[in-house]
Chains A and B, each alone.
Chain A
Amino acid sequence: MSFEIAVERRLGDTRIALDLAGGPGLTALFGPSGAGKSSILNMVAGLLRPDRGRIAVAGETLFDSAAGIDLPPEHRRAGYVFQDGRLFPHRRVRDNLLYGWRLADPAHRWMTLDDAVDFLGIAPLLQRWPRTLSGGEAQRVAIGRALLSGPRFLLMDEPLSSLDMARRAEVMQVIERIRDALGLPILYVSHDRAEVDRLASQVVPLAPEGMADTQA
């Protein structure tokens, strides 16, 4: 089991609830906007605390309300790729890429800056400021930053939604290569059926009311 998630959280009027047991590869959370997909990712990353439940990834428990376990985000080793890239505007691309790498335990690093730069084709961007990047460039840098932090798993929140068609194909190929070549468990959020069908090993629909069932 890669992702074992059974959580509940009330946010305003909506109740977000999910019971999911993900296999290897890419598990896609699929549903319309407002269904709480991003909130689920934030709970797995440790940025949003569930009201109750349990979250475990690849056998390690990250959160368990019954057992009183709640690892802080910096100890969860999540590689989180946000919808908007969320690069640090006051650091050049190179320093954005190395932010998590420098903080990671050397034993946990499984990629060097050179590896990541080659893998993502971002060598010409290293000295640039984030605000000068196109959407596709920024998203590739964001993926590189997440990979370089030595994560045990990846969380991807609609990483293609801010991109035009040409950039989408490019970033989608990168995600397929991560899925196939690196073998990291990926929890992927999207509202686009075609995208999910192409990338996902397993699709989990998430309805606005919140109850979702796993379908292999």
Chain B
Amino acid sequence: MSPEEWQVILLSLKVSGVAVLLTLPIAFGLAWLLARGRFPGKLLLDALVHLPLVLPPVVTGWLLLIAFGPSGPAGRWLADWLGLTLMFRWTGAALAAAIMALPLMVRAMRLSIEAIDRRLEGAARTLGAARWRVFLTISLPLAMPGLLAGAVLGFARSIGEFGATITFVSNIPGETRTIPIAIYGALQIPGNEAEVTRLAIIAVLLSLGALLVSELLARRMGPGRSGHVL
């Protein structure tokens, strides 16, 4: 494997890792809200969260370009206050990956929150635990497998992100050239079959590994957790 290919792989891991870590608390908050909340506009929020799943990725990328470009409202704010530019930068690739991964992460987490037996939370209250303590000692540990599964799934989705990324941050070696973008670029020029094959194998292995880990986490709910209480 060439140094350029290593660079592509490491960049992909960095972009996806940052995307998932930053999205994790947001996704969990949204999942909790959608699982437990009762408020007007819940259906709309649910639809908005899922929008990146069904929208053409190129449209998502274009919307990011409008919002986070140098003259976009969010882009100008970030540049003025934090000195941060996202366009054509790896941080922008991470943002695109995060938005595309969000629906999958929220779905997995929401399912695990909905699966919590709320009567256990009531039992904890009668034993002297205030709401926040019930959340930390009962709800969160019981939702943990789903939370981790969602994170791994989001990571896999981020590794594969292409459309929104290339639209928003283009194809810049060492900055935004992730595995799928490198494969696409290599395919444009004849004679690169070996490089394409190597990168494709890496992509398959990473995705397959993430899916397996996510499935194992969802199934093996930790010692004592599977099955029924009684």
Using a CB–CB distance below 8 Å, which chain A residues touch chain B? 42, 45-47, 72-74, 76-80, 82, 84-92, 99-100, 103-104, 129-133, 135, 138, 145-146, 149, 162
Contact = CB atoms under 8 A, between A and B. Distances in A.
Q: State the majority secondary structure of interface residues on A.
A: loop
Contacts of A88: 120, 123-124, 138
B38 interface: no
The interface size bin for chain B is 20 to 34
B128 interface: yes
B225 A99 contact: no
B188 interface: no
Contacts of A149: 126-128
Nearest to B134: A74
B209 interface: no
Contacts of B227: 131
B119 to A, nearest CB: 6
A19 B107 CA distance: 47
Contacts of A138: 229-230
A103 B141 CA distance: 18
Looking at B123, B141, B225, B229, which has the most chain A CB atoms within 10 Å of its CB?
B123
Contact of B119 (A77, A82, A91): A82
Given A86-B120, A133-B230, A162-B230, 19 more contacts: A47-B122, A74-B127, A74-B128, A80-B123, A82-B119, A86-B123, A88-B120, A88-B138, A89-B142, A90-B141, A90-B222, A99-B129, A104-B128, A129-B224, A130-B224, A130-B229, A131-B228, A131-B229, A149-B126
B191 interface: no
Nearest to B137: A99
B229 A85 contact: yes
B130 interface: yes
B127 A82 contact: no
Contacts of B226: 131
A80 B129 CA distance: 13
A132 B120 CA distance: 18
A142 to B, nearest CB: 9
A82 B123 contact: yes
A55 to B, nearest CB: 14
A164 to B, nearest CB: 13
Contact of A72 (B130, B222, B223): B130
A90 B225 contact: yes
B125 interface: yes
A135 B125 contact: no
Contact of B126 (A76, A89, A91, A92): A76
Contacts of A146: 127
A138 B229 CA distance: 9
A72 B126 CA distance: 9
Contacts of A90: 141-142, 222, 224-225
Contacts of A129: 223-224
**Which of B120, B124, B229 has the most chain A CB atoms inside 10 A of its CB?**
B229
A84 B230 contact: yes
Nearest to B228: A131
A74 B130 contact: yes
A146 B125 CA distance: 12
Given A74-B130, A129-B223, A130-B224, A87 B125 contact: no
B82 to A, nearest CB: 40
